[in-house]
């Protein structure tokens, strides 16, 4: 069923907070660092300096649980082996031909039109609910899949939820997960104009298009394939921490997690994919790099992004195999992130590049779950 996105295009609503919280938060800035208490304003100042962090406020009553988090959970992630990609080349090419640039543009135009998607703002909540509606329309729009594809919200106390959509498979097999974050932020005032077209409207769009194509294909997967859109990434990986911790507590087995945070930009004449090599599973990162060259035909270049730089870190720290494919090598990425200039009109923004990541997501799902 076609989405009529532009008919719903919202005005740039002034972003009002759901509930401002000026209390201090507990944050960790490095693998061996002690948690520190800082106000949210102080945390955003640190983020502006390039210091990423886990907000572990919800763990502050049990420091031992935090310290043991990396060792707990997971099922020998470092021993997980992955195939040599290429088995599904013809099928992936056919599916990728169904990716729709116009549809992607319409979606991201509206998604980035909200004043901000800051996780505590009114428009942060509204944009998440609108995204949920689009995911539901896709899952319900194909009659033969209507009873099989499930979509649910993960409720959070700050007002913006995370979203999980599941393509069915054997529940006894480990899951294959792809994730992006749905929030945005700009500057030291998180309530200021923050279109977040690239960070991370692009990754959100990448996964939405891949999800649509796979739902409409009717492919039956052996493993469950999940698409996640997380709340509160910019505030310390909040949504992904909640989900990864819950999966760990429930003993959920995960075969692989692929992070899609920023997929829409590349320097003129230098299209490539950055393969993050720090705080990831080496075997899975190798597999993703090989998939880029096999399925996309563009270079895959190793890069590092630092501690707690995106949602893959929540999965890696929980003991699950995680990888992160990024729009470029770090340092060559969009200069407009975390500013009001992060729009689809930013020079270097490319829907072709964005949809290349959708193709990579489709290949990831087929290679590991079909």
User: In sequence order, which residues have a C-beta less than 8 Å from that of residue 346 and are 6 or more positions away?
Assistant: 197, 198, 265, 334, 336
Taking only the tens place, the pLDDT of each residue in 102-136 is: 999 999 999 999 999 999 999 999 999 999 999 99
Question: Is residue 177 over pLDDT 60?
Answer: yes
Q: What is the pLDDT of residue 78?
A: 73
Taking only the tens place, the pLDDT of each residue in 250-291 is: 999 999 999 999 999 999 999 999 999 999 999 999 999 999
Q: How large a percentage of the chain has pLDDT more than 90?
A: 81
Residue 190 vs residue 10, higher pLDDT: 190
Alpha carbon of 19 to those of 37, 95, 110, 160: distances in Å?
20, 43, 25, 12
Task: State which fold the 88-369 domain adopts.
Answer: Aminopeptidase (3.40.630)
Q: How large a percentage of the chain has pLDDT more than 70?
A: 88
**Interhelix angle for 351-369 vs 89-96, to 10°?**
140
* DSSP string of 125-148, one letter each residue: HHHHHHHHHHHHHHHHSSGGGTTT
Cα–Cα dist 58/93, whole Å: 44
Virtual CA dihedral for 289, 293, 226, 79, nearest 10 degrees? -40
Q: Is the pTM of this model over 0.75?
A: yes
Residue 346 vs residue 60, higher pLDDT: 346
Q: What is the pLDDT of residue 147?
A: 64
Residue 99 vs residue 16, higher pLDDT: 99
Question: Is residue 369 over pLDDT 50?
Answer: yes
Give the strand pairing for 322-326 and 254-259.
Answer: parallel
Q: What is the pLDDT of residue 59?
A: 66
Q: What is the pLDDT of residue 190?
A: 84
| pLDDT average, residue stretch 316-325 | 96
Cα–Cα dist 211/233, whole Å: 21
Question: Is residue 311 over pLDDT 60?
Answer: yes
Mean of the per-residue pLDDT values of the chain:
90
Question: Is residue 19 over pLDDT 80?
Answer: no
Reported as a pLDDT band with limits 50, 70 and 90, residue 145 is: low
Among residues 15, 29, 20, 22, the alpha carbon closest in space to that of 236 is found at: 29
Q: What is the pLDDT of residue 64?
A: 47
Contact predicate 193/114, CB 8 Å: no
Question: Is residue 299 over pLDDT 80?
Answer: yes
Question: Is residue 353 over pLDDT 60?
Answer: yes
**Distance from the Cα of residue 264 to its chain's centroid:** 13
What is the SS3 assignment for 295?
helix
Taking only the tens place, the pLDDT of each residue in 200-250 is: 999 999 999 999 999 999 999 999 999 999 999 999 999 999 999 999 999
| pLDDT average, residue stretch 66-92 | 74
Q: What is the pLDDT of residue 23?
A: 80
Reported as a pLDDT band with limits 50, 70 and 90, residue 146 is: low
User: In sequence order, which residues have a C-beta less than 8 Å from that of residue 335 and are 6 or more positions away?
Assistant: none
Reported as a pLDDT band with limits 50, 70 and 90, residue 144 is: low
Domain ranges of the chain: 88-369
Reported as a pLDDT band with limits 50, 70 and 90, residue 72 is: very low
Burial of 105 (0-12, 13-18, 19+ CB in 10 A): middle
């Amino acid at each position: 069923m076609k989405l009529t996105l532009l008919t719903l295009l919202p005005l740039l609503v002034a972003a009002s907070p759901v509930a401002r919280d000026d209390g201090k938060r507990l944050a960790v800035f490095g693998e061996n660092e002690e948690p520190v208490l800082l106000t949210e304003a102080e945390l955003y100042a640190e983020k502006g300096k390039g210091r990423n962090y886990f907000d572990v406020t919800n763990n502050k009553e049990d420091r031992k649980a935090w310290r043991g988090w990396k060792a707990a959970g997971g099922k020998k992630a470092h021993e997980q082996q992955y195939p040599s990609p290429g088995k599904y080349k013809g099928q992936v090419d056919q599916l990728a031909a169904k990716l729709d640039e116009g549809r992607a543009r319409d979606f991201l135009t509206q998604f980035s039109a909200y004043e901000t998607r800051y996780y505590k703002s009114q428009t942060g909540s509204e944009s998440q609910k609108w995204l949920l509606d689009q995911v539901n329309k896709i899952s319900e729009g194909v009659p033969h899949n209507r009873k099989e594809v499930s979509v649910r919200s993960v409720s959070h106390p700050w007002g913006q939820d995370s979203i999980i959509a599941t393509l069915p498979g054997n529940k006894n097999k480990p899951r294959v997960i792809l994730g992006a974050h749905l929030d945005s932020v700009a500057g030291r005032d998180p309530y200021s104009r923050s279109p977040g077209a690239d960070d991370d409207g692009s990754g959100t769009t990448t996964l939405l298009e891949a999800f649509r194509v796979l739902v409409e294909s009717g492919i039956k997967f052996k493993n469950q394939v999940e698409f996640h859109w997380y709340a509160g990434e910019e505030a310390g990986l909040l949504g992904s921490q909640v989900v990864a911790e819950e999966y760990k507590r429930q003993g959920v087995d995960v075969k692989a997690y692929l992070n899609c945070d920023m997929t829409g930009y590349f320097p003129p004449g230098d299209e490539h994919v950055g393969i993050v090599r720090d705080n990831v599973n080496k075997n899975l990162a190798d597999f993703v790099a090989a998939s880029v060259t096999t399925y996309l035909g563009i270079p895959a270049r190793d890069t590092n992004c630092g501690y707690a730089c995106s949602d893959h870190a929540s999965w890696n720290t929980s003991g699950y195999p995680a990888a992160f494919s990024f729009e470029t090598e770090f340092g060559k990425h969009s200069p407009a992130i975390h500013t009001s200039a992060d729009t689809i009109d930013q020079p270097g923004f490319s829907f072709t590049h964005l949809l290349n990541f959708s193709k990579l997501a489709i290949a990831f799902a087929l290679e590991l779950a079909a």
